[in-house]
């Protein structure tokens, strides 16, 4: 019977029957819908890559002010666009191991302060120019410049020098860092001709697709790069990415077959969509988290008592149940969960405590005026509903929370990292050092809570170079306590990535590093039928 089921699956993939007919015939033979979908997916995967076709993506999280400069990438759309036309030195596999991309190997000194990356030969940019170690050097220098606006600056400040040595690029660090290869996978660090110094937004990279049309906030179009160096990637003839910030419109386009892949499926409709014909709902747990961020140096959040009052005033479990609907886990007001290698599971879980919140609120001396929390649908799926839940739970503590709904377009440029209290999301980073260096060290441009703590900064430097694993875990644990108890992060939940994928797509794999297969769905997937 198994062989017969596989025969039917192969017929479906080759176009000999529709998916609906496949599901009907397998059901009649006693195979459940879940098992049938799983079988269809595994057979499509085993069939291997098929060249051709145009893949259409619907991406929520773009805006009209988006830049093509990788340094300025700050939302889901710019992330996907950069990952389609450009590449980093290394990448992170689904199992957490490193994947050699434009670097074919690396090594380090015993003290982890000097790292050498051997650059892959015979790789060309989209303009026909051969990638050289000098291009890599200039890329790293541009992103590590103290005046850079790069989103990777937080992880690059530790670089004291970069030089070319034959086919390699040598990176010197001020302080030791055992995780530097992982930091080189940061999606801002796309290798560009002359480091992008001449025209950072030219979108000239080395990846499997060339950007041929760009209308920020609306649409991006790509065509296959015929000179791409990795034959295992780049199967579509062309790719279209549409910015669709409205969840209902994005889901409807997937259901109707206008789109093949979409991101940001809301948990409240994921179950319903999973029963729709011709598509599957893919979910993977990872490091992503939905948050509310307070700026510690802005009134009224400059008092620790008020910050902690607001942390005790949120019902995390209720929010996970009602907003995530099982597609995630409870957060604990620091940005690390069990997906990270040095997570400290012994840190007590902060619980909803309106009485304690009320006591801290009174001790803060706040004048009783409304505390404005700015939110938008683009912050994360269910952000507005989550804010309403938060307002109700805070009311029980006597805290006057007021919700101000902001438009999606311009939210990331006008509200996030500008206003003192707003909803946001982080897709996490591959290792603790990268997450903390990007958003919590005092010097980070993306320190959206304005958390400036000298002791935290010192601990981060120690943890970077600590090679003893148990000691390193203790350092990261102390840092987690500082963020949790002193900082401006309210982290009620870690979200699963929930994405919709047409049955016409093959090659899908689970990767919890970032959304849509760590942004690699465009270059790894193919048309299965």
Q: Which element (helix H / strand E) includes 76? A: helix 76-85
> Rounded to whole angstroms, how far apart are CA atoms 404 and 212?
38
User: Exposed, middle or buried, 213 (CB in 10 Å: 0-12/13-18/19+)?
Assistant: exposed
User: Exposed, middle or buried, 103 (CB in 10 Å: 0-12/13-18/19+)?
Assistant: buried
- Report pLDDT digits (tens) over 275-317: 999 999 999 998 999 999 999 999 999 999 999 999 999 999 9
Q: Which element (helix H / strand E) includes 350? A: none
Q: How far is CA 313 from the centre of its chain?
A: 27
User: Is the peptide bond preceding residue 300 cis, with omega within 30 degrees of 0?
Assistant: yes
User: So what's the pLDDT on residue 33?
Assistant: 65
Q: What is the pTM of this model?
A: 0.82
**Two tokens, residue 386:** 């989550």
Q: Which has the minimum average pLDDT: 36-45, 206-215, 226-235, 404-413?
A: 36-45
**Two tokens, residue 25:** 């015939």
- Report pLDDT digits (tens) over 54-75: 999 999 999 999 999 999 998 9
> Rounded to whole angstroms, how far apart are CA atoms 173 and 157?
9
**DSSP conformation class of 377:** T
Residue recorded with tokens 């017929």: 11
Return the percentage of the chain with pLDDT > 70, whole number: 93
> Rounded to whole angstroms, how far apart are CA atoms 368 and 275?
48
- Report pLDDT digits (tens) over 464-505: 989 899 999 999 999 999 999 999 999 999 999 999 999 999
Q: Three-state SS for 156?
A: helix
Decide: 376 and 318 in contact? Cβ < 8 Å. Answer: no
Bridge-based pairing of strands 489-495 and 289-294 is: antiparallel
Decide: 505 and 55 in contact? Cβ < 8 Å. Answer: yes
Number of neighbouring beta carbons within 10 Å of residue 243? 26
How far the first Cα of the chain sits from its last, in Å, is 24
- Residue 428 binned pLDDT confidence (cut-offs 50, 70, 90): confident
> Rounded to whole angstroms, how far apart are CA atoms 176 and 463?
9
> Rounded to whole angstroms, how far apart are CA atoms 346 and 521?
36
User: Exposed, middle or buried, 248 (CB in 10 Å: 0-12/13-18/19+)?
Assistant: exposed
């Amino acid at each position: 019977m198994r062989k017969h089921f596989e025969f039917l699956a192969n017929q479906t993939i080759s176009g000999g029957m529709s998916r609906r007919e496949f599901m009907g015939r397998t059901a009649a033979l006693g195979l459940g819908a879940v098992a049938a979908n799983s079988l269809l997916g595994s057979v499509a995967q085993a069939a291997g890559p098929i060249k051709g076709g145009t893949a259409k993506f619907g991406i929520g999280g773009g805006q009209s002010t988006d830049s093509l400069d990788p340094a300025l990438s700050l939302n889901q759309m710019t992330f996907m666009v950069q990952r389609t036309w450009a590449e980093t030195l290394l990448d992170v596999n689904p199992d957490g191991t490193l994947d050699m991309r434009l670097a074919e190997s690396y090594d380090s000194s015993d003290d982890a302060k000097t790292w050498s990356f051997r650059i892959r030969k015979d790789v060309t940019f989209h303009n026909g120019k051969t990638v050289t170690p000098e291009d890599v050097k200039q890329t790293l220098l541009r992103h590590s410049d103290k005046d850079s606006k790069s989103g990777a600056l937080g992880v690059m400040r530790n670089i004291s020098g970069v030089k070319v040595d034959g086919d390699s690029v040598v990176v010197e660090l001020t302080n030791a860092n055992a995780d530097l290869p992982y930091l080189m996978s940061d999606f801002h660090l796309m290798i560009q001709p002359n480091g992008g110094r001449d025209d950072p937004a030219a979108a000239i990279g080395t990846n499997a697709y060339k950007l041929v049309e760009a209308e920020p906030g609306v649409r991006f179009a790509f065509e296959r790069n015929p000179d791409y160096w990795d034959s295992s990637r780049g199967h579509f003839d062309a790719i279209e990415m549409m910015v669709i910030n409205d969840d209902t419109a994005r889901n409807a386009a997937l259901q109707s077959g206008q789109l093949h892949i979409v991101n940001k499926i809301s948990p409240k409709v994921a179950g319903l969509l999973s029963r729709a014909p011709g598509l599957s709902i893919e979910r993977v747990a990872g490091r992503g988290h939905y948050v509310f961020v307070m700026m510690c140096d802005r009134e009224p959040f400059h008092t620790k008592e008020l910050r902690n009052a607001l942390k005790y005033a949120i019902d995390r479990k209720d929010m996970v149940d009602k907003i995530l609907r099982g597609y995630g886990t409870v957060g604990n007001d620091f940005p690390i969960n069990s997906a990270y290698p040095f997570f400290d599971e012994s840190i007590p879980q902060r619980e909803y405590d309106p009485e304690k919140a009320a006591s801290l609120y009174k001790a803060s001396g706040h004048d009783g005026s409304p505390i404005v929390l700015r939110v938008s649908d683009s912050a994360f799926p269910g952000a507005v509903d989550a804010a309403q839940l938060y307002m109700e739970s805070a009311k029980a503590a006597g805290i006057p929370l007021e919700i101000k709904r902001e438009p999606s377009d311009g939210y990331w440029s006008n509200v996030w990292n500008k206003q003192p209290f707003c909803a946001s999301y982080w897709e996490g980073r591959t290792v603790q050092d990268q997450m903390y260096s990007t958003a919590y060290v005092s010097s980070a441009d993306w320190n959206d809570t304005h958390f400036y703590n000298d002791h935290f900064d010192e601990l981060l430097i120690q943890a970077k170079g600590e090679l003893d694993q148990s000691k390193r875990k203790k350092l990261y644990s102390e840092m987690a306590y500082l963020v949790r108890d002193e900082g401006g992060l309210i982290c009620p939940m870690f979200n699963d990535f929930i994405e919709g994928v047409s049955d016409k797509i093959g090659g899908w794999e689970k990767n919890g590093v970032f959304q849509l297969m760590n942004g690699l769905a465009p270059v790894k997937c193919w048309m299965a039928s």
